[in-house]
Every structure is written in structure tokens, then in C-alpha cells.
């Protein structure tokens, strides 16, 4: 999906919500737990219930890889169920020496038809470039993450700047705002204005609202650009809004609440 199509969907839906499909089999409602294909049934119900209110889905591959080969099949079937107009993100956090990154890019962009993949920048340009070679595909590089460990490296000084600032400044030169996004955690509200000074045009994938306590209001007021420029992800807050048979209705209600808050910002 190219930038024009993504922005078009954001305007049409009045939403920049990304629903995270972090489906922990241990948290399935009782009637699906232990059932053959329970995870897939759960994912399909969540997608059907939320698709009117979001523009993207993010599959965190860890939850599927942990199930072995069956998990990979569930991930593929879940991806097939995501409607074409939705932006599909593989949250796989890959990146390796060049020839290995080429294989990761092929796995997620060709063998599977994800629109985007998350990539760790630690190994440098040759580990990121192979992902950027694909037309109409996106590389989403970890910039400033939502977890406490962001203080260990990302928020440490690297000469005159912070390490995450160096990452944004350097990596933004490897691609362009049409094929490169950055992960900036919603728990880093105070840094968003600074992020926008460094990368005014790029889309930001923002995890950390809901279960991690980040504020949608704070992010939207500080970091939207003329194309919205944000994909705000919520996983557990939507998936597990209700632990019983009404899980899909509850997920729909939460997604709709996020969408209406986002619509108010998009009108400004």
C-alpha cells in the first residue's frame, strides 16, 4: 500500500487506529480456549468487529511463533482475513546482516503479503536497506520504544544528541516518508514534539495506549501532521476488553471509542 492510499483510508474512516492482534491463547474466552482453531476464530471475530473503526492491523509475530508451525498457519490465515484496504503490519522486529535481512524481507513481503514490518536499527544500514527495496512496502524502524528499557540505550547521550535522535536523523536518510516509518512509544509523550522537529513528515507507529497507559490525546495534539502521520496501536485494550462470550462486541465498542476520539482530531 502506498502513502496516498493509506492517507485516503485515514480520511475516509476518520481514524488512525491500528488494532494489535497479540492473541495470547491463555487469554481466550472460555468457550474458545483449548478449541481447535480457537485463536483463528477469535482473530476473525475481532477483525470483523473492528474493521469499520481502524485502518491497520498489527500482528505481533511472537504470539504466533510461540505456537510452532500451527501458529505460523494461524498467522497466515489471520492475514488472509484482513481486508485489502487495511494496512497489515508484521510486528516482527527483524534486522540482521544483509543477506539474512533479504530473506526476512522476502518472507514478510513476498511469501506473506504484509504491507509493513518492524525492524531494529541496531545493526545499521546494511541490515535495514534490504527491506526498503520493495515497492509499496514499508519498513518501520524502532525509534523510541514504550518500555522501561528505552532508558538503557535509546535515551542515553550519543555525543551531542540522544541515541534515539541519532537513529531518527540517520535512518531517515536511508528511505523516505513514502516507505519508512518509526516506532515511537505512546508512553514517551514528552518527546513527541522533539520527534516531529527531527522527522516532520514520516508516519509514526505509536504503541502503548491502553494497557501501557499512554495518552491518545497527548500524542495526537503533539504529533499529528497534515496527513495525520500517526498509526496509534492498541492491542490488549481492544482484544481483551471482555473476557467472556461478548468479547467481540466489547472490542468493537473500544475500537469505536478510539475512532471517535481520533475523528475529533482529524477535523481540526
Ligand X SMILES: O=c1ccn([C@@H]2O[C@H](COP(=O)(O)O)[C@@H](O)[C@H]2O)c(=O)[nH]1
So which residues are the catalytic ones? 93
Per-residue cell: 138:
514499508
The phi, psi pair for 92, rounded to 5°, reads -115, -15
Distance (Å) of CA 174 to CA 62, 167, 181, 227: 27, 11, 11, 21
Q: Is 145 in the site for ligand X (CB under 6 A)?
A: yes
Indicate whether 61 belongs to the interface with ligand X (CB under 6 A).
no
Q: Which stretch binds ligand X (CB under 6 A): 6-14, 34-42, 173-181, 233-241?
A: 233-241
Tell me how long the chain is. 268
Please count the other Cβ atoms lying within 10 Å of the Cβ belonging to residue 159. Answer: 7
Asked if 43 interacts with ligand X (CB under 6 A), we say no
- According to DSSP, residue 182 is labeled E
Instruction: Name which of 9 and 91 has its Cβ closer to ligand X.
Output: 91
Of 191, 207, 232, 241, the one binding ligand X (CB under 6 A) is 207
- Does the protein bind ligand X through residue 212 (CB under 6 A)? yes
Residues 106, 120: Cα–Cα separation, whole Å: 17
Cβ atoms of 236 and 33 closer than 8 Å: no
> Which residues have CB under 8 Å from 126's CB, separation 6+?
97, 98, 101
Q: What is the CA radius of gyration of the chain?
A: 18
x/- letters, 164..193, toward ligand X (CB under 6 A): -------------------x-x--------
Nearer to ligand X, 149 or 200 (CB): 149
Selected binder of ligand X within 175, 189, 210, 229 (CB under 6 A): 210
Choose, by CB under 6 A, the member of 208, 219, 251, 255 that binds ligand X: 208
Binders of ligand X in range 101-140 (CB under 6 A): none
Q: By CB under 6 A, name the binding residues for ligand X.
A: 20, 22, 60, 91, 145-147, 183, 185, 207-208, 210-212, 233-237
Amino acid at each position: 500500500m502506498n502513502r496516498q492510499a493509506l492517507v485516503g483510508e485515514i480520511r475516509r474512516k476518520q481514524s488512525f487506529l491500528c488494532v494489535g492482534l497479540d492473541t495470547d491463547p491463555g487469554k481466550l474466552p472460555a468457550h474458545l480456549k483449548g478449541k481447535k482453531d480457537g485463536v483463528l476464530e477469535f482473530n476473525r471475530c475481532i477483525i470483523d468487529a473492528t474493521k469499520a473503526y481502524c485502518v491497520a492491523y498489527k500482528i505481533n509475530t511472537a504470539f504466533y511463533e510461540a505456537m510452532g508451525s500451527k501458529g505460523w498457519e494461524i498467522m497466515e490465515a489471520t492475514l488472509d482475513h484482513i481486508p485489502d484496504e487495511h494496512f497489515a503490519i508484521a510486528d516482527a522486529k527483524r534486522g540482521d546482516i544483509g543477506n539474512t535481512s533479504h530473506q526476512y524481507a522476502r518472507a514478510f513481503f513476498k511469501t506473506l503479503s504484509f504491507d509493513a514490518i518492524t525492524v531494529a536499527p541496531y545493526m545499521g544500514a546494511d541490515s535495514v536497506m534490504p527491506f526498503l527495496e520493495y515497492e509499496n512496502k514499508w519498513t518501520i524502524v524502532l525509534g523510541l520504544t514504550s518500555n522501561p528499557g528505552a532508558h538503557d540505550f535509546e535515551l542515553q547521550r550519543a555525543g551531542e544528541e540522544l541515541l534515539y535522535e541519532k537513529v531518527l536523523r540517520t535512518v531517515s536518510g536511508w528511505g523516505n516518508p513514502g516507505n519508512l516509518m518509526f516506532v515511537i512509544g505512546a508512553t514517551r509523550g514528552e518527546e513527541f514534539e522533539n520527534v516531529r522537529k527531527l522527522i516532520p513528515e514520516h508516519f509514526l507507529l505509536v504503541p502503548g495506549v491502553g494497557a501501557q497507559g499512554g495518552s491518545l490525546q497527548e500524542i495526537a495534539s503533539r504529533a499529528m501532521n497534515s496527513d495525520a502521520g500517526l498509526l496509534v496501536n492498541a492491542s490488549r485494550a481492544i482484544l481483551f476488553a471482555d473476557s467472556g462470550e461478548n468479547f467481540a462486541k466489547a472490542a468493537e465498542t473500544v475500537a469505536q471509542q478510539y475512532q471517535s476520539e481520533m475523528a475529533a482530531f482529524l477535523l481540526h
